[in-house]
């Protein structure tokens, strides 16, 4: 494809690019009151991280790198290499999402394309949302693309700040947000797609947070923007899918939502009954 064709306007057909995924699955899940890694806890009959892996597979991502830490062998045991597309990276110390993602760099060193970065504790993710995000990423030649959600109560979430042209300006954490920013209901639920080589280049330059000492992947979006590179937003995440799991109550809530989603619709049941 020529350079001019590759820079054509949004909405035109472009050749697909290789897609991979990094799933952050090293969390200890202290509030789960269990020795198991958080992502191994079952949701709708499967480990919660299994649903994230499946969404990535259905979206065509290969390889899928799982960043594991505490209890990582339990993650390997429940997932294995059943799809032939899974790899593992180790995060020995939990130093933030940026550090966790950078731990996957060796497993990704031969890959050149786009990479998803997703949380292993968000089993409500849909392959359709990933496809929408990646399509936007390709069509706009973006360095990074965020899928966002607009929810009724954004308390506690990072807010998406847009500029006068409705383009990406910043992600502002709730605790750092002004009163005006706290009224923003568009939030970042940790769904992102990056040019893989740019991602790892930026991650090597991320500075630790002065208060926590952790390295955050959210800093990469601003770094790319400051270098004149394109950061896109697509408001594509259904509000119910934002829920991640940090304790047993949230686990039960997400389990109920996912089981309801997977159950045959009432109309399907009625049709099946009429046919018998």
Is the CB of residue 151 less than 8 Å from the CB of residue 239? Answer: yes
Closest of 170, 165, 164 to residue 148, by C-alpha: 170
Is the CB of residue 65 less than 8 Å from the CB of residue 109? Answer: no
SS3 268: helix
SS3 29: coil
Q: Which phi and psi (to 5°) does residue 11 adopt? A: 105, -20
Torsion sign over Cα 129, 215, 114, 173: positive
Helices 48-58 and 72-79 cross at an angle (nearest 10°) of: 50
End-to-end CA gap in the chain: 54
Active site residue 185: no
Is the CB of residue 103 less than 8 Å from the CB of residue 7? Answer: no
Within a 10 A sphere around the Cβ of 125, how many other Cβ atoms?
Answer: 26
- Residue 204 neighbours by CB under 8 Å, 6+ apart: 102
Interatomic CA distance for residues 244 and 112, integer angstroms = 30
Catalytic residue among 17, 31, 167, 182: 31
SS3 196: helix
Catalytic residues: 31
């Amino acid at each position: 494809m020529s350079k001019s064709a590759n820079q054509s306007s949004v909405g035109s057909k472009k050749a697909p690019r290789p897609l991979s995924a990094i799933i952050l699955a090293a969390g200890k899940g202290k509030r789960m009151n269990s020795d198991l890694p958080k992502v191994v806890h079952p949701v709708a009959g499967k480990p919660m991280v299994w649903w994230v892996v499946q969404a990535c597979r259905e979206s065509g991502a290969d390889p899928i790198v799982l960043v594991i830490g505490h209890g990582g062998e339990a993650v390997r045991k429940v997932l294995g290499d059943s799809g032939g597309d899974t790899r593992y990276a180790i995060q020995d110390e939990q130093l933030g999402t940026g550090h966790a993602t950078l731990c996957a760099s060796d497993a990704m060193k031969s890959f050149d394309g786009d990479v998803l970065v997703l949380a292993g504790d968000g089993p409500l993710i849909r392959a359709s949302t990933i496809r929408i995000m990646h399509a936007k990423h390709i069509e706009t030649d973006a360095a990074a693309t965020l899928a966002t959600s607009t929810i009724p109560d954004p308390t506690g979430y990072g807010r998406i700040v847009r500029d006068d042209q409705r383009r990406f300006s910043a992600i502002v954490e709730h605790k750092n947000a002004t009163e005006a920013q706290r009224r923003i209901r568009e939030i970042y639920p940790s769904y992102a797609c990056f040019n893989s080589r740019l991602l790892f280049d930026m991650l090597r330059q991320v500075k630790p947070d002065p208060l926590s000492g952790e390295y955050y992947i959210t800093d990469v979006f601003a770094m790319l923007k400051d270098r004149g590179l394109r950061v896109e937003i697509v408001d594509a995440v259904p509000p119910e899918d934002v829920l991640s799991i940090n304790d047993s109550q949230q686990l039960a809530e997400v389990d109920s939502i996912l089981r309801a989603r997977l159950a045959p619709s009432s109309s399907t049941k009625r049709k099946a009954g009429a046919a018998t």
